[in-house]
């Protein structure tokens, strides 16, 4: 009896186990049939590849530009070997880091520049000329208004700052702020600003600290009477031209009284 009593229980247990196993199997089968793997289309793969290349390119370009802004004279020549005209994107950036020697000016043959520096000067359209009978160089702004010198061109002149003695900016597009770079030029004696419509009395103030200046041409600039105080304080100045500047006769006379030995030509 004992054996016959335990037999049904064992059968019942086996049935339960078989039921549980069949449920698990059905669950696994159902879950497997619900999983669908979608393959990327060719267009999606191309877009992903392009995105990776663009992201990499942006990182490389950003790093290169950052390095150029920090050390332009070192990075610039390397970048140009790959045909990238980076100096056109940041005009005068490399010239800002040029070493300016505080020494007397030399002749055109004494100018020693790297090939990249000569390239910058030529591409800006700047004309270098020797001074007859004297050391130093003179620069003349192009006559064509479309090629007139601007602030970026002045920055490039830092390559020859030691040798520049005469700077003719007639009818240029140089601004008051741009003139400030001339404070670095140790031997600049004559500065012609005639007809440069973007220059005001503020620009004259920016050149007032150049001790070597002997002659300043301000013809046809829009000035106010306050400029005479600036001019009278320029100790090395010997000649100033003030035709058609809008200055009052009282201001002109004030300048003549303050600097009796200075030649003041007001027309």
Q: Which of 199, 210, 222, 246 is nearest to 231 (CA)?
A: 210
Co-location of 117 and 74 in the same domain: no
Domain that holds residue 22: 2-89
Q: Which of 51, 114, 34, 127 is nearest to 80 (CA)?
A: 114
Domain finish residue from 31, 57, 89: 89
Structure confidence by residue, pLDDT tens digits, 158-196: 989 999 999 999 999 999 999 999 999 999 999 999 999
Structure confidence by residue, pLDDT tens digits, 15-41: 444 444 444 445 555 455 555 555 667
Contacts of 108 by beta carbon, 8 Å cutoff, 6+ apart: 128, 130, 137
Joined together, the tokens standing for residue 14 give 């086996």
Co-location of 255 and 139 in the same domain: yes
pLDDT value at position 168? 97
Within-domain flag for 132: yes
Number of domains the chain is built from: 2
Within-domain flag for 97: no
* Whole-number Å distance between alpha carbons of 40 and 45: 7
Co-location of 78 and 127 in the same domain: no
Give the strand pairing for 137-140 and 127-130.
Answer: antiparallel
* Whole-number Å distance between alpha carbons of 72 and 78: 10
Within-domain flag for 95: no
pLDDT value at position 65? 57
Higher per-residue pLDDT: 118 or 92: 118
Co-location of 82 and 114 in the same domain: no
Within-domain flag for 51: yes
Joined together, the tokens standing for residue 180 give 């400030």
Contacts of 240 by beta carbon, 8 Å cutoff, 6+ apart: 215, 216, 217, 218, 231, 255, 262, 263, 264, 265
Q: Report residue 254's pLDDT band, with 50, 70 and 90 as the boundaries.
A: very high
Co-location of 58 and 21 in the same domain: yes
Q: Which of 198, 192, 239 is nearest to 219 (CA)?
A: 192
CATH number at residue 258: 3.80.10.10
Within-domain flag for 186: yes
Average pLDDT over residues 5-19: 48
């Amino acid at each position: 009896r004992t054996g016959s009593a335990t037999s049904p229980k064992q059968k019942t247990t086996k049935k339960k186990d078989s039921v549980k196993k069949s449920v698990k199997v059905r669950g696994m089968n159902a879950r497997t049939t619900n999983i669908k793997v979608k393959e990327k289309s060719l267009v999606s793969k191309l877009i992903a590849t392009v995105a990776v290349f663009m992201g990499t390119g942006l990182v490389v370009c950003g790093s290169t530009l950052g390095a150029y802004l920090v050390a332009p004279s070192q990075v610039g020549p390397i970048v140009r070997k790959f045909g990238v005209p980076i100096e056109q994107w940041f005009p005068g950036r490399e010239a800002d880091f040029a070493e300016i020697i505080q020494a007397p000016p030399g002749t055109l043959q004494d100018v020693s520049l790297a090939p990249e520096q000569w390239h910058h000067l030529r591409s800006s359209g700047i004309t270098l000329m020797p001074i007859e009978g004297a050391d130093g160089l003179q620069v003349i702004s192009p006559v064509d208004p479309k090629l007139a010198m601007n602030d970026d061109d002045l920055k490039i002149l830092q390559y020859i700052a030691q040798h520049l003695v005469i700077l003719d900016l007639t009818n240029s597009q140089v601004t008051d702020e741009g003139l400030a770079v001339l404070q670095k030029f140790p031997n600049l004696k004559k500065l012609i600003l005639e007809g440069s419509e973007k220059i005001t009395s503020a620009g004259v103030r920016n050149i007032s600290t150049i001790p070597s200046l002997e002659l300043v041409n301000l013809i046809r600039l829009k000035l106010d009477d306050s400029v005479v105080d600036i001019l009278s304080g320029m100790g090395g100045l010997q000649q100033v031209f003030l035709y058609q500047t809008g200055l009052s006769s009282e201001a002109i006379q004030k300048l003549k009284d303050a600097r009796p030995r200075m030649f003041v030509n007001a027309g």
